[in-house]
Structure 1
Amino acid sequence: MSSSSHPRASKRAANSAVSRSPNACERCRKQKIRCSGSQPCDACTKRSRPCHFDETHQRVVVTRGYIRELQRRAIRRDDVSAQAICDEAARNVSGETAMASGLTRPEDMDPPALPRPGGSEHGDDTPSIADGSHVTEEPGLTNFLTQDKSPFMTAGNGMTYYLGASSNWTFTQKVLSMVYERAFRNQIPDVERLIEGLGNAYDLPWDGIPLGEPPSLATVPTIDHAIYLINAVKFHCTQLFHLFDEETFIPALYAFYQRSPGTRHETDRLWLVHFMLILSFGKAFTVRNKGKNPAGIEYFIKALQFLPSTIMLWRHPVHSTEVLSCIALYLQCLDYRIVAHNYMGQALRLALNYGLHTDIQRDGFGKESVERIRRVWWTLFILDREMTSIAGVPQSIQIDDVQCQLPEFSGSSQRIMVLKMQLTLSQLMAKINQTMYGVGGKLHKDFLRGIENALGELAQVHEELYRCFPVPPDQAQGSISRTSAHLYLSYYRCIILATRPILFCFIKIRLDSWEECQARLHSSNTARNMLQMCLDASIQILVTLDLLLQQNLIDPFLPFDLDSVSAATINILVAMALDHEFLQSGSSWITTANAIFAELVASGNQVAAVRVKELDQLKSLLAKLGNGGGQPAPARSPTTPSAPSSWVPSGQVMPQTRDSMFAAQSQVHVAGEAVTCTVEATTSSASTALSRAAPQTLDFSATTGFSFDTGTFDSSQAAEIIELANSVADIDSIWVSDIIGHDSIW
């Protein structure tokens, strides 16, 4: 080798030494780039990014003698602890004996302080290192919905109920309690609380006593009417859930109607219950309810009365799981959430005990049976995840414990893609609940880490969802498929679930100090962007539901549309209280939400009527806050928004909210000057929205917005979410901890 090559070889050796740095910062690890290992590293310094090193990944070189010394200390510590336990037991025995004889002295009952292995004699609990300096722990972060004490609420009837952490109703109730206390300097009376999940919206005309004989079948519809109701169930549910096996259910249906009316009660009891349940769903989908009795309730009551005991259900596990799932879903629609979750739990445990979650092969069961089992299991799994998140309780089963394969759906690639996306979204929702809404709430630095991980996974789901389920070209004319809308709504709810803690964080600041809230809003770009992302997702929920409303596709019975519009509305109401400049633009979206609620209530959804009362109560309380100052201000009347608009900008197939927290604002301020944004009516939709403002016209929009364009996929949209995830560490954990870690709401 020539002498001239030695400098190059030396340079390559130096570069390779840098690339083999044992310690790399989190950003370099995530992006898989070379890290210098310094603090801060060269890559982060060059890009002006915060540089953090995860201690769990750092390599430490120690001597064997040091390891042996640690082992000896551990052995001595175990010996000391064991001896201390024995001494404590002996003192207790001797103390009881002395107490009986009246000879016990107080100082005899005090055990001596145990020496701390490797610690000081002063009992200092602060962790220490070899040089005697103390290690400062990071402030503990507590999610606002998870306190040290389990949150409970007492209703006007004296009963106490548990408030689940991730429940949207819990979020609403906690905001209501804080705002009421701020406005009236007193706790909200229990009689003024609207209890959800207990079936108060509907009457269930049944005393709970089962029938020993088959129910009267005199009111069973004709076969033509029954097929019509079954087809309605297929239209509303088949693309998303498996409620019955058509290959076995329809032949049994014809066999049932071929019987004489006097012998129909001799039909298989479990199938008869299943038939009544499907009829109850079909009637609920096709008949507008009037009054407190939902349409189809007569069939549902008969199904409950004739439902076999659990002791009998185990003999037909697959069919019984279908029946129990139908009961749970119907009760969920009636807002009997606690009872619905119990029935879903029965179905889940029945399925688990019969191994429906395992990889069942066709050899022993047959192709048709295995296909049915797979459809049953994944519907059960998805509904359980949905109900668990709504209730705000821990997950029943982890995905790692499931080996069941996906059904083939007779080769339908669309059905398979829908199921895969449902599973992806349900898994994402479960992870968010587990990492950010843990029991006890003391998540320390893992709370922000949970937000970061959730945003990273949201970016991946964003890319997959928008590529696999694009809106067709006629989206500009206001059409969207019911299945795609359901998936988009689920995705937006995941975003809200991940970012809503920051929204609650700011409303707590707002209730304490208007000036502090304004300062915090503009001091952290990351927190502001997360808040905007939460509100943009809320707006997109209203936009999606507005498109469904224009097509008469709003589902007045299934709970998913109602839950979505409720979550979106509460977020916008809270955001309107943060800054009065957003009052008018926020009011336009409240008008959109009111139109959606009005359609649900007009369709006979009594649960929607209860939600409207709850939101009206919160709206009136928030109006008393005013726009600053120490005392509550009188309620303000929001400006009525201008003419309706479908909020579909020209040249785009789906509305975007990149430029503002709310999509529009009639008047905004730029450099102290008022700028009026024109509003143009494009359709005569029942809902109202406004044209978007320019990026520079809104102070709160910052530099990062989030464009949820469902028409075409743009990789930059996912990149925006990833960039936000990478900047979560920039949030000042101390003030977040002070806000959501030290205040007790209940």
Structure 2
Amino acid sequence: MVGNGPRVAKRSLNACTRCRRQKIKCSGSQPCDGCNKRKLTCIFDDRDQKILVTKGYIDELLQKIANFQQSDLSNPSPLSPEYTEERSPDLKDLNDISDIAKSTSNDHDEFHHELEDPASGLTNPLSTGPPTFMSAENGRTFYLGTSSNWSFTRRVLSLTHERIYQEALPTGALLFDGTTYDLGWDGLRRPQDPEIAAVPTFDHALYLINAVKFRCGQLYHLFDENDFMRNLHEFYAGSQPNATASLWYIHFLLILAFGKGFVQHKLQGNRPAGAEFFVKALQLLPDVSILHQEPIESIEIFCCVALYLQALDCRSSAHNYIGQAMRMAMAEGLHTQMPIEYLGESFVQRCRKIWWTVYILDREMTSLMGLPQSLNDDHVNALLPTFPGSRQKTAGIDMQIKLSRIIAEINSSVYAIDGRLNRNFLLRTKAALANIARLADELRVSFPLHLERSMNGVSRTSAYLHLLYHQCIVLATRPLLFCFLKIRFESPENCSDALHNSRSVRNLIQMCMESSQQMISILRSLQSEGLLETFLPFDLESIFVSTVVLLMGPAIDIRWNYPMWLEKAYAIFEEIIENGNLIAKFRRSELQLLDELLSCFPDDQPRCLSAPVSFPNDVLNPPAGPLASSFPPSTHALSHGMLSDPGVTMENAGAFTRGLTTAQIMAVADSIESIDTEWMSNAMIEHSIW
């Protein structure tokens, strides 16, 4: 019995030239619906018209060709010219039939493939096409990694500047890797032994070490406390005459450098706090071939060097050092289930702490560089370390590992190189969000934030994990922001309509906005508790990522204008800057530049660049002017009059302001259907996103 449900519209077997070229659905009418809507000339090429024939008919034609060719081979030459002339047309005709049959068969397969994969033409614009590079004023060229926060902002800045001024963004307006601070060292190791650094008194050293334990100890393993403190007491007791020639002494200098960075907020010029200890440690550091003789402490030293360099915005160098730590750790088997009965409990526990610190730092730094992960998780089976009397610490490491793996998965799918693995871009985003959603409730229950409670303080560990969690959501969804910003620039009158054509895509962007607000809310709570991290780079990354998203939102749609949240973000920037972080000052200047550029849009005509767009490279003595002033709340979006009515609220707006639950994330992910991917694919083709 035939059902009474709605009939499924069949795809037209004939398409006009425009729809065929853009690989979009055509109504088949003359003119077609798409061309009629856009008032374009609709042209049908009869030669491209597809016809449906049975597979049996194609097989029969191919069999006839095979029989004829076999017969022709069995009766070769000598053929008279008359015979040749008589047979040639038949051969040609049959060859044409063969080509038509094969073409029809291929078209038939392609037709079914397109039905099964409606988003086959969709790729991530941030990872598709030729790789992107940018040169600094000193001539050094930098690769813009696909998932890098730094690269994402460069792309948005470049896109906006080129739209407004019709020329490339001057590199003098940008902060490049390793250019903020001056260590006062040329990097060369002299033949003679370097001068021994003056270490602080014993009490002062304990104070700095405890600062490192509080700031880093809950997240990373940088030194083994028992072994380190035993050597510390022996060093100050003078019982080790050659202590300054040991690896422990280099390790000690690095910990002092961190301690200075955490407690000393006043800078001398652009030399970072603790630089004198850090430089002496690197000058004393032996060659890798020597470090392999004491691999465990050497790996800890590499982790310290990498994390300190990351804090100075020397991302490439930090990534190289953590890579050395990773390879040395694997060479020692730290990624395996090391046998306690053979190696001993304390040694194995130390190795587990070291391994997962290296693993987490490697994943985070690789993602911040926008590079593919180098380690396959199938090769890792190390167990988690245990902490007597502190199950929460083990759970924290476990959650860090899970989030690090999600970051790696997003990088390898949503940001796959040249779109090879993300032909179904939105479907890949859907899968990434589903993996993120599985951790939502576990994170909420195991590591509550209590942001709304005035009597309970905020846990620094919980805050860090929630920040990392929301960064995963932003990382998975912000390519859509870039897509629609480009659509907004190319077709401003159609941007609002395009957003309303897919509720799922709109909700994904809304989720990106809400996660950005959540990060700002968490950082504001840390700020009120005096726990805002101003030396390590991860709080700064969170506020930088979230502010870029909130600046882009109103440029796409006025209803994504959140001046209150931007004001909170700028207040966080101010505190980090006041605590001596020069990188935060440059980052804020970049955001102000982006804000000013977006405020120039929309314009009917491109502007002329009357003066170089840049901010002062001398951040210590910035000149007076608009770029040196403090950030006001962004208001540029209020001028976007051509957008839809600002009084109409976005669907589900504010639904995630109290945090994203598993059910909420899955609801958005499950709403992504094939029709959304097909629409998004067509929109990106029409607007030449890649």
Category of TM-score, reference length = shorter chain? 0.7 to 0.9
Name the residue aligned to 1:156.
137
- 2:171 pairs with one of 171, 174, 190: 190
Name the residue aligned to 1:707.
656
Q: CA distance change for structure 1 residues 506 and 473 in 2, over 3 Å: closer, same or farther? A: closer
Which whole-Å CA distance do the structure 2 matches of 1:223 and 1:125 have between them? 84
TM superposition shift of 1:592: 1.1
Name the residue aligned to 1:590.
566
Name the residue aligned to 1:650.
none
1:161 is paired with a residue whose SS is: strand
Which whole-Å CA distance do the structure 1 matches of 2:249 and 2:630 have between them? 54
Q: In the alignment, is the contact (CA less than 8 A) between 1:324 and 1:343 conserved in 2?
A: yes
Letter in 2 for 1:209: L
- 1:608 pairs with one of 558, 575, 584: 584
TM superposition shift of 1:596: 0.7
- 1:244 pairs with one of 212, 217, 223: 223
Q: Deviations over 1:646-680 (max 9, x none)?
A: xxxxxxxxxxxxxxxx9xx9xx9xx97x9xxxxxx
Which whole-Å CA distance do the structure 2 matches of 1:39 and 1:348 have between them? 58
Letter in 1 for 2:537: P
Name the residue aligned to 1:180.
161
Q: RMSD value over aligned CA atoms? A: 3.5
TM superposition shift of 1:478: 7.7
Q: 2:247 matched to 1:270?
A: yes
- 1:284 pairs with one of 258, 261, 267: 261
Which whole-Å CA distance do the structure 2 matches of 1:158 and 1:468 have between them? 49
TM superposition shift of 1:129: 4.7
2:134 is paired with a residue whose SS is: strand
Is there any run of 5+ residues in structure 1 with no aligned partner, and where?
1-37, 41-65, 77-114, 643-661, 675-696, 711-715
Which whole-Å CA distance do the structure 2 matches of 1:244 and 1:172 have between them? 35
Q: Report 1:329-344 matches (<5 A).
A: 329-344=307-322
Which whole-Å CA distance do the structure 2 matches of 1:134 and 1:556 have between them? 56
- 2:453 pairs with one of 470, 475, 490: 475
TM superposition shift of 1:144: 1.7
Q: Deviations over 1:476-495 (max 9, x none)?
A: 45831111110110001000
Which whole-Å CA distance do the structure 2 matches of 1:119 and 1:490 have between them? 59
Letter in 2 for 1:699: T
TM superposition shift of 1:246: 0.3
Q: Deviations over 1:563-615 (max 9, x none)?
A: 000000000000021234554xx222221111111111111101111101111
Q: Report 1:538-687 matches (<5 A).
A: 538-580=516-558, 582-583=560-561, 586-626=562-602
TM superposition shift of 1:474: 7.0
Name the residue aligned to 1:409.
387
Letter in 1 for 2:175: I
Letter in 2 for 1:565: I
Which whole-Å CA distance do the structure 1 matches of 2:203 and 2:682 have between them? 64
Letter in 2 for 1:464: E
Name the residue aligned to 1:717.
661
Q: In the alignment, is the contact (CA less than 8 A) between 2:208 and 2:259 conserved in 1?
A: yes
Q: Report 1:344-383 matches (<5 A).
A: 344-383=322-361
1:153 is paired with a residue whose SS is: strand
Which whole-Å CA distance do the structure 1 matches of 2:192 and 2:352 have between them? 33
Name the residue aligned to 2:233.
254
Q: In the alignment, is the contact (CA less than 8 A) between 2:363 and 2:404 conserved in 1?
A: yes
Q: Report 1:46-61 matches (<5 A).
A: none
Name the residue aligned to 2:677.
733
Q: In the alignment, is the contact (CA less than 8 A) between 1:141 and 1:442 conserved in 2?
A: no
Q: 2:336 matched to 1:392?
A: no
Which whole-Å CA distance do the structure 1 matches of 2:387 and 2:127 have between them? 41
TM superposition shift of 1:120: 3.5
Q: Deviations over 1:461-517 (max 9, x none)?
A: 111100111234872458311111101100010000011111111111111122211
Which whole-Å CA distance do the structure 2 matches of 1:472 and 1:134 have between them? 52
Q: CA distance change for structure 1 residues 473 and 597 in 2, over 3 Å: closer, same or farther? A: closer
Q: CA distance change for structure 1 residues 311 and 699 in 2, over 3 Å: closer, same or farther? A: same
Q: Deviations over 1:317-370 (max 9, x none)?
A: 111110001000000000000011001111101111111101001111111000
Which whole-Å CA distance do the structure 2 matches of 1:267 and 1:727 have between them? 62
TM superposition shift of 1:147: 2.1
Letter in 2 for 1:707: F
Which whole-Å CA distance do the structure 1 matches of 2:175 and 2:681 have between them? 30
- TM-score, normalised via structure 1 length: 0.72
Letter in 2 for 1:590: L
- TM-score, normalised via structure 2 length: 0.77
Which whole-Å CA distance do the structure 2 matches of 1:294 and 1:183 have between them? 37
Letter in 1 for 2:459: S
Which whole-Å CA distance do the structure 2 matches of 1:320 and 1:575 have between them? 46
Q: CA distance change for structure 1 residues 703 and 568 in 2, over 3 Å: closer, same or farther? A: closer
Q: In the alignment, is the contact (CA less than 8 A) between 2:165 and 2:606 conserved in 1?
A: no
Q: In the alignment, is the contact (CA less than 8 A) between 2:360 and 2:400 conserved in 1?
A: yes
Is there any run of 5+ residues in structure 2 with no aligned partner, and where?
1-5, 9-55, 67-93, 610-625
Name the residue aligned to 1:300.
278
Which whole-Å CA distance do the structure 1 matches of 2:324 and 2:686 have between them? 39
Name the residue aligned to 1:20.
none
Paired residues, number: 577
Q: In the alignment, is the contact (CA less than 8 A) between 1:356 and 1:374 conserved in 2?
A: yes
Which whole-Å CA distance do the structure 2 matches of 1:546 and 1:444 have between them? 36
2:661 is paired with a residue whose SS is: helix
Q: CA distance change for structure 1 residues 474 and 565 in 2, over 3 Å: closer, same or farther? A: closer
Q: In the alignment, is the contact (CA less than 8 A) between 2:302 and 2:325 conserved in 1?
A: yes
Q: In the alignment, is the contact (CA less than 8 A) between 2:422 and 2:428 conserved in 1?
A: no
Name the residue aligned to 2:128.
147
Q: 2:409 matched to 1:465?
A: no
- Percent identity reads 42
2:142 is paired with a residue whose SS is: strand
TM superposition shift of 1:191: 3.5
1:282 is paired with a residue whose SS is: helix
Q: In the alignment, is the contact (CA less than 8 A) between 2:196 and 2:280 conserved in 1?
A: no
Name the residue aligned to 1:168.
149
Name the residue aligned to 2:26.
none
Q: In the alignment, is the contact (CA less than 8 A) between 2:367 and 2:411 conserved in 1?
A: yes
Greater shift after overlay, 482-491 or 520-529? 520-529
Letter in 1 for 2:492: W
Q: CA distance change for structure 1 residues 731 and 497 in 2, over 3 Å: closer, same or farther? A: farther
Q: In the alignment, is the contact (CA less than 8 A) between 2:335 and 2:355 conserved in 1?
A: yes
Q: CA distance change for structure 1 residues 745 and 513 in 2, over 3 Å: closer, same or farther? A: closer
